[in-house]
Amino acid sequence: MSTSHAAATTEHVEHELGFFRKYIFSLDHKIIGIQYLLTSMVMALIGGVLAMLIRLQLGFPGWRWPELQALMPGGFQNGVLKPDFYLALVTMHGTIMIFFVLTTALSGGFGNFLIPLQIGARDMAFPFMNALSYWLYPPAVVLLLAAFVVTGGAPSSGWTAYPPLSAVAQAAPGSGLGQTLWLLSLVVLILAFLFGGLNYITTVLQLRARGMSMLRLPLTIWAMFITALLMLLSFPVLTAAVIMLLFDRLAGTSFFVPEVVVGGQLLSHTGGNPILWQHLFWFLGHPEVYVLILPPMGMVSDILAANSRKPIFGYPFMVGSMAAIGILSFLVWGHHMYTSGMHPLVGMAFMTTTLAIAVPSAVKTFNWLATLWRARIRFTPAMLFAIGFVSLFVTGGLTGVFLAQPPVDIQMHDTYFVVAHFHFVMASAAMFGVFAGVYHWFPKMFGRMLNERLGRLHFWLTFIGIYATFFPMHFLGFAGVTRRYYAYQLFERLRDVQPLNTAISIAAFGLGLAQLLFIANFVYSLFWGPRAERNPWRATTLEWQAPSPPPHGNWGAVEPEVHRWAYDYSVPGAPEDFIPQTTPAAAVAAPAHGHGGHA
Ligand code: HEM
Ligand SMILES: [Cu+2]
């Protein structure tokens, strides 16, 4: 197994590899990270277009779009978006955004790029397994998107794939081959995540540079590490559930199929329990939302510290609260199932554990604010998105406290209040983490700077666009508008919300268009941006000591040695307002020169 220890050897010459070995089938963690990131961006574009189609229907029900019908003949009839296509859109949008955009961009993209660089390693522990992890992702994409073109189309059971809709092929048009492809695609993607997660954990435990103790790790690494543990413990549960569901569909078993009458006929395989699926799904599903929010929590902490020129406030509490969130995330899954007929005492227990998560979350929020307190803030685009992340996380988190309580949730369940909640706390906040990360680490990834003015414009349009799109959805929820409804306006009591829905759709289109600024900035800067120096943000962590972009093997001949934690910003008496982690204590002990940092 020459590949498995290649990273650990001191081999550091940059060998001349052909284009394919260097950029396509690369074993280099940086290339694999960038591949994950770019593929996720393509998927975000697809998921975004699906969201726009959903909004088209909700904002302008009954309108005719013959041009779209020409593009997507299966999805429209007489120019009007078809109901089963609508449900397919909701399912595929949710699935793509959660599994194929955010998980892949954050863990696959930033996890891969940053872990070896920030801990001072030359690569991941298992580079070949790392490449395998990435190369399972495109086949999973193909399997998933193929669902759109097979008979019956894409599944309509939502990203949660509840049976019987997902278990009985005759249940709905998309419940046939489309649902099978969806399930297979998920199995393949989960394998990719497992290979990635194993690699991250081993790498962080085994390949840290000399002097890099666990408590000197940047919070980004702590976040990626805890995330990898969550992935490793929760995804296999979904794999098992998905395989059982495939058996129900293809082999006549009945794990999840209750007594169902389809077309007047009782199914032959009955006796299973669809609630079992809900338990298994949410045992993954809730940790999964933390798989999406922990990496941004770590990245945002580092970006806030670097741009406040202050140490992160309460480092041990930041680590502890992430660990607490990680553990608690396995004990709260029942809060998605209050309406499934669970015993009220069980509901109480899940309410208690869920509310407990508010404590470490609040600890983190207050520490971020304390880091910003009286700081000389540099408003780079990364910093704006990091601050935006805190705002969105708080907005979404607060409605989570409402929904944690069974008496409230039983009213609000499956309404747009929930859609608003998770689009703030998970979708938008995590997306802001991705944007903050791209703006911050782009110079290291590609050796060029992004345009700051375009970045700031992109931030403000996105920030305003998000609040304009998702905040009013809370009111739709109060009004009783239900999630995953194609034609809410058929209900007399919901007719009044039509203008609000139209306004939301217009805001969403604006939000979507604003992302073109980001794509333009990204593509333009990739080729023509000004060259980046080694450490453009004057940051302390190790990746900024490597060239931009770092060569194969990251460090040239000498591996870095670590002498301090990651947050020595504005140290009193130091010659500059930051001290890289590689600077020995002796080098800053005696401030010989006059221009000391402020105390
Ligand atoms: C431009 C941005 C976005 C817009 C306008 C948007 C809009 C929507 C809409 C209208 C729905 C359908 C609600 C329904 O009727 O059930 C939905 C569902 C959903 N969205 Fe988004 N979304 C956006 C971004 C995201 C992102 C970034 C994520 C990432 C996590 C995400 C995750 C989901 C999920 C999980 C669902 C639920 C699907 C289901 O009910 O099965 N969305 N979104
Ligand atoms: Cu949950």
Each residue of 20-30: pLDDT tens digit? 877 788 999 99
Query: Is any atom of ligand 1 closer than 6 Å to the C-beta of 469?
Result: yes
SS3 category, 421: helix
Query: Is any atom of ligand 1 closer than 6 Å to the C-beta of 90?
Result: yes
pLDDT of residue 261 exceeding 90, the answer is no
Report d(CA 596, CA 599) in Å as an integer: 9
557's tokens: 């001949």
Mean pLDDT of 12-25: 71
Q: Is residue 335 packed enough to be buried (19+ CB in 10 Å), middle (13-18) or exposed (0-12)? A: buried
Rg of the chain over all Cα atoms, to the nearest angstrom: 25
pLDDT of residue 596 exceeding 80, the answer is no
The H-or-E segment that residue 291 falls in is helix 274-308
Instruction: State the pLDDT at residue 267.
Output: 87
Instruction: State the pLDDT at residue 12.
Output: 45
pLDDT of residue 301 exceeding 90, the answer is yes
Q: Determine which of 31-35, 118-122, 199-203, 552-556 has the lowest per-residue pLDDT on average.
A: 552-556
Q: Which residues pair with 97 in a beta bridge?
A: none
SS3 category, 109: helix
Instruction: State the pLDDT at residue 589.
Output: 61
Report d(CA 504, CA 476) in Å as an integer: 10
The H-or-E segment that residue 470 falls in is helix 452-479
Share of the chain above pLDDT 70, in %: 95
Query: Is any atom of ligand 1 closer than 6 Å to the C-beta of 444?
Result: no
pLDDT of residue 161 exceeding 50, the answer is yes
Q: What is the pLDDT of residues 382-426, one digit of tens each?
A: 999 999 999 999 999 999 999 999 999 999 999 999 999 999 999
* DSSP at 554: S
**Residue 258: cis peptide before it, omega within 30 degrees of 0:** no
* 248 or 1, which is more confident: 248
Query: Is any atom of ligand 1 closer than 6 Å to the C-beta of 97?
Result: yes
Instruction: State the pLDDT at residue 321.
Output: 98
Strand runs labelled E in 352-406: none
Residues 6 or more apart whose Cβ sits within 8 Å of residue 275: 337, 340, 341
Residues 183, 161 contacting (CB under 8 angstroms): yes
Instruction: State the pLDDT at residue 20.
Output: 80
Mutate which of 54, 89, 93 to test ligand 1's pocket (most atoms within 8 Å of Cβ)?
Answer: 93
Mean pLDDT of 270-282: 95
Mean pLDDT of 242-249: 96
Instruction: State the pLDDT at residue 263.
Output: 81
Q: Determine which of 2-16, 46-60, 180-194 has the lowest per-residue pLDDT on average.
A: 2-16
Instruction: State the pLDDT at residue 357.
Output: 96
Q: Determine which of 409-413, 494-498, 500-504, 585-589 has the lowest per-residue pLDDT on average.
A: 585-589
Residues 86, 57 contacting (CB under 8 angstroms): yes
Tell me the CA end-to-end span of the chain in Å, nearest whole number. 53
* DSSP at 121: -
Give the alpha-carbon dihedral of 145, 291, 377, 546, to 10 degrees.
-80
pLDDT of residue 588 exceeding 80, the answer is no
Share of the chain above pLDDT 90, in %: 89
- What does pLDDT average to over the chain? 93
Give 287 Cα–ligand 2 centroid separation in angstroms: 7
97's tokens: 């955004």
pLDDT of residue 119 exceeding 90, the answer is yes
Nearest CA to ligand 1 atom 4: 51
Query: Is any atom of ligand 1 closer than 6 Å to the C-beta of 563?
Result: no
pLDDT of residue 13 exceeding 70, the answer is no
Ligand sitting nearest the alpha carbon of 354:
2
Report d(CA 585, CA 563) in Å as an integer: 7
Between vectors from CA 410 to CA 405 and to CA 411, what angle results, nearest 5°?
Answer: 105
Give 54 Cα–ligand 1 centroid separation in angstroms: 9
pLDDT of residue 155 exceeding 70, the answer is yes
Give 534 Cα–ligand 1 centroid separation in angstroms: 38
Report d(CA 71, CA 223) in Å as an integer: 42
Instruction: State the pLDDT at residue 597.
Output: 39
Instruction: State the pLDDT at residue 15.
Output: 59
Q: What is the pLDDT of residues 440-449, one digit of tens each?
A: 999 999 999 9
Between vectors from CA 447 to CA 443 and to CA 448, what angle results, nearest 5°?
Answer: 70
Report d(CA 310, CA 273) in Å as an integer: 54
Q: Please write down the HEC assignment for all residues of 136-173.
A: HHHHHHHHHHHCCCCCCCCCCCCCCCCCCCCCCCCCCH
Residues 6 or more apart whose Cβ sits within 8 Å of residue 296: 106, 223, 389, 429, 430, 432, 433, 434, 436, 437
Neighbours of ion ligand 2 (CB under 5 A): 286
Torsion angles phi and psi, residue 269, rounded to 5: -100, 110
Nearest CA to ligand 1 atom 3: 51
Query: Is any atom of ligand 1 closer than 6 Å to the C-beta of 539?
Result: no
Query: Is any atom of ligand 1 closer than 6 Å to the C-beta of 50?
Result: no
Instruction: State the pLDDT at residue 595.
Output: 43
Between vectors from CA 28 to CA 26 and to CA 31, what angle results, nearest 5°?
Answer: 75
Confidence at 17, pLDDT banded by 50, 70, 90: confident
CA-based nearest residue to 28, from 121, 119, 141: 121
pTM, 2 dp: 0.93
Report d(CA 327, CA 522) in Å as an integer: 37
Mutate which of 58, 423, 435 to test ligand 1's pocket (most atoms within 8 Å of Cβ)?
Answer: 423
pLDDT of residue 545 exceeding 90, the answer is yes
Residues 6 or more apart whose Cβ sits within 8 Å of residue 267: 168, 257, 259, 260, 261
Instruction: State the pLDDT at residue 90.
Output: 98
pLDDT of residue 283 exceeding 80, the answer is yes
